[in-house]
Amino acid sequence: MKDFKKYYYIPATPEEIYMAITNPVTIQLWTGEVAEMSTEPGSEFSMWEGSITGKNLEFELNKKIVQQWYFDGQSDNSIVTIKLHPDKKGTSVELRHTNIPDADFDDMVEGWNSTYMGGLIDFFEGE
């Protein structure tokens, strides 16, 4: 198992980013895919046609999201924590993803950089 931590700069407010990653309508705007999402702790979520699934654990409005991501056959919880820090020109997004299976690590890092956070950055830079 491996952990991944990285900071991303996104040219949007923490409120805009929080909405973009917790509201199924706004998720669809930047991913182009239908998503299942709720800010109710304990609710299940699904993004990118089921490529990412899991359980929502904790929300702090406009500041923090904690989720458990599911990997087939994995018994240890893989936890994603996204913290939003206001910055002069937008938001510093602190990402921490724990217990990523070794075989999935490179794909997960690529997914975070290009698809998930990369998609958010492209969406807000394009506005």
Q: What is the distance between the alpha carbons of residues 12 and 74, in angstroms, rounded to a whole number?
A: 35
pLDDT of residue 61: 97
- Show me where the domains of the chain are located: 2-125
Q: Say whether pTM exceeds 0.75.
A: yes
Beta strand extents in the chain (DSSP E only): 2-10, 44-47, 52-60, 64-69, 78-87, 90-100
Q: What is the distance between the alpha carbons of residues 37 and 85, in angstroms, rounded to a whole number?
A: 22
Q: For the segment 3-49, what is each residue's pLDDT rounded down to a tens digit?
A: 999 999 999 999 999 999 999 999 999 999 999 999 999 999 999 88
Q: For the segment 49-58, what is each residue's pLDDT rounded down to a tens digit?
A: 888 899 999 9
Fold of 2-125: Alpha-D-Glucose-1,6-Bisphosphate; Chain A, domain 4 (3.30.530)
Q: For the segment 57-107, what is each residue's pLDDT rounded down to a tens digit?
A: 999 999 999 999 998 777 778 999 999 999 998 999 999 999 998 988 999
Q: What is the distance between the alpha carbons of residues 33 and 112, in angstroms, rounded to a whole number?
A: 16
